[in-house]
Amino acid sequence: MTQPSHAPLVPRSGLAADYLAHLARRGTGPEELMRQVVADELVAVAYRGRYLPAPVFVSAAERARLAADLGTVHTLLTQLPERLFGGDAGALARAVGMTETQASVVERATKAGQPLLPLARSDCYRDADGFKLLELNITSALGGFENAGICRAMLAHPALAEFAAEHRLDYVDTLHGIVQTLFAECAEHMGDGSRRPVVALVDWPESFKSYEPRLKVMAALFDGFGIDAVPCHVGQISERGGRLEVHGRTIDVVYRFFLVEEISTPADEELVAPVLRAFEEGRIGMFSRLDAELYGNKGALAMLSDDENRHAFSDQEREVVDRFLPWTRHVRRTATDQAGQEIDLVAHAAAEQHDLILKPTLLHGGTGVVPGWTVSAEEWREQLAAAMDGPYVVQRRIRPVPELFPANEGSGSQELYLNWGVFATDPRVTGGDGYNGCLVRGSTNPEVGVVSMNGGARVACSLYQKDSEDESSEQGGSTS
């Protein structure tokens, strides 16, 4: 993927403040744009009216650096088996806390031969020094794919459309990039165009109960790309005559929304066995391969941060790690500090409690996360003791800078604290620089531990500022 640029990062352009002034001159309230979004039925299923009153704006320099940095980190993570474990993906799986069942599934996936193309969504905060990467979700099971729908709905209002034209703003259709990656990764199973491929959107039985409405939205959107998409859970797939079927349809590709973390017992492995066998034998395509979450695991990210592994990376790669990743360590008796000195991790974590956050390596959606500044010293010590030598990491807290938004009602502004969900793809597949759109989640609370929908956050889409190369090639944008 794209290598990092070492050119100085151009300071923010003040687009948020410019946009507030633009709304004031027009006498337009932010609630008018929000009405455009709420009226969009496909987007409403996912977010149910919980929107921020404006998009966020990303400069051309910010976009380019984010794409390059995410590309570098993705490359490093997916190469960890070769760089640190002699090519043994199972050893990496066990090192980050996966069960024997999960490690076996991962090993089987890596031997199947189908390519694993870059597709990821970050969790970034922006502090005074720039963007910092908290997590990189490497999987096909990515939420937030509806963000272009929010862009389209908001841009239907003249106030934002005028501002976007004046400041050369555009957006990327994230779902389009996902579909391009799907076709590239599963090309031999997607057909020759003589018929529409059948793609099963497959979740786990338990999570399917709540996620089915969003899978139905995705199926409706896939229809526009010439794909017959069938939402289901893995227990609804049957095998007949060597082919997998769901709801009477023969499956070409399994689009995987279930996660490796859900395959935790032999019984779980048996449930998914027909799908695994069909994939290994080349009878179906799978998007994405079952080892994808291994590389997006928080424990894998800690291996990049841990300076005991610095010998495995080039000077350029270390520069990205040092600048882009906060200090992250597995919860062990000893570790190294940011200066590379060996420390007693328990004593260090106790002294730095209000600047550290404890995270399980395998779970997602904020589950099991303990921000040190939200609990008592006694509870913090108890949590660390329970996590010791287990599948947990501690990470240096990032204090996000406030971002300026219109007030929810009337004139004026408000400050919000954002989690930036930047999507990354392979530019060789999707074109551009690999930046594939962004969905942000925002909170009014500067002390929030996890900016999440479960914690009351609201969402916004992102518009990026085109540079001269974008304007000459007109690649990637949807307002072009």
Tell me the per-residue pLDDT of 61-89, one tens digit each, with 9 for 90 and over. 999 999 999 999 999 999 999 999 999 99
Burial class (CB in 10 A: 0-12, 13-18, 19+), 194: exposed
Nearest of 392, 370, 139 to residue 262 by alpha carbon: 139
pLDDT at 235: 96
- For residue 331, which phi and psi values (nearest 5 degrees)? -80, 95
The amino acid at residue 394 is V
CA distances for 373 relative to 304, 349, 351, 461, angstroms: 25, 12, 12, 29
Is the predicted pLDDT of residue 345 greater than 90, yes or no?
yes
- pLDDT higher than 70, residue 378: yes
| Arithmetic mean of pLDDT, 167-190 | 95
Task: Outline where 171-236 has alpha helix (H).
Answer: 174-185, 205-223
For β-strands 328-330 and 334-336, DSSP reports them as unpaired
Q: Where in 248-377 does DSSP place strands (E)?
A: 249-250, 253-256, 285-287, 328-330, 334-336, 342-344, 356-360, 370-371
User: For position 468, what pLDDT does the model report?
Assistant: 64
Q: Which two tokens stand for residue 366?
A: 């904020």
- Which domains can be identified in the chain, with CATH numbers? 15-296+401-473 (no CATH), 327-396 (3.30.1490)
* Weakest mean pLDDT among 81-85, 324-328, 376-380, 471-475: 471-475
Question: Which ranges in 4-140 belong to alpha helices (H)?
Answer: 15-26, 30-38, 41-47, 60-78, 80-84, 89-95, 100-110
Give pLDDT, residue 197: 97
Q: What's the rounded mean pLDDT across residues 242-260?
A: 96
Residue 387: other Cβ atoms inside 10 A: 22
pLDDT reported for residue 29: 83
Band the pLDDT of 280: cuts 50, 70, 90. very high
* Two tokens, residue 51: 């929107």
Which of 42-51, 203-212, 301-310, 380-389 has the weakest average pLDDT? 42-51
Q: Give me the long-range contacts of 241-245 (CB less than 8 A, separation at least 24).
A: 242/283, 243/283, 244/200, 244/274, 244/275, 244/278, 244/283, 244/284
CA dist., res. 423 & res. 144, Å (int):
9
What is the pLDDT, as a whole number, of residue 454?
65
Instruction: List pLDDT tens digits, range 401-460.
Output: 999 888 866 667 888 999 999 999 999 999 999 999 999 999 888 777 666 666 678 899
Q: Is the pLDDT of residue 479 over 80?
A: no
Give, rounded to a whole angstrom, the gap between the first and last alpha carbons of the chain: 25
223: its two tokens: 């229809």
Residue 2, CB-side half-sphere exposure with 13 Å CA sphere:
23
Long-range contacts of 308-314 (CB under 8 A, 24+ apart): 308/336, 309/83, 309/84, 312/83, 312/84, 313/76, 313/83
- How much is the average pLDDT of 313-320? 97
Res 476: pLDDT: 43
Per-position b or e across 130-152, b if 16+ CB within 10 A of its CB: ebbbbbbbbbbbbbbbbbbbbbb
Compute how many other C-beta atoms are within 10 angstroms of the C-beta atom of residue 83.
15
- Average pLDDT of the chain is 89
Cα 109 to Cα 81, 96, 104, 228, 449: the distances in Å are 14, 17, 9, 25, 34
Q: Between 324 and 38, where is the model more confident?
A: 324
How much is the average pLDDT of 458-477? Answer: 71
Assign 53 a pLDDT band (cuts: 50, 70, 90): confident
Supply the pLDDT for residue 473: 47
Backbone dihedral region for residue 41 (phi beyond 0: left; psi -120 to 50: alpha; all else: beta) = alpha
Q: How much is the pLDDT for 165?
A: 97
Q: Would you state the pLDDT for residue 453?
A: 65
230: tokens are: 């069938």
CA distance linking residue 28 with residue 16, whole number of Å: 15
- Give the model's pLDDT for residue 478: 53
Residue 26 carries which side chain, given as an amino acid letter? R
Q: What are phi and psi of 311, to 5 degrees?
A: -65, -20
State what percent of residues in the chain have pLDDT above 90: 71
Residue with tokens 């272009």: 148
**Residue 6: what pLDDT?**
37
In which band, very low, low, confident or very high, does the pLDDT at 171 lie, cut at 50, 70 and 90?
very high
- From the list 336, 353, 355, 354, the residue with the least C-alpha distance to 344 is 336
Instruction: Find out whether 167 and 100 touch, Cβ atoms under 8 Å.
Output: no
**155 pLDDT higher than 80:** yes
Q: What is the pLDDT of residue 367?
A: 72
Quick one: tokens of 326? 């906060």
Q: Which two tokens stand for residue 320?
A: 């990205």
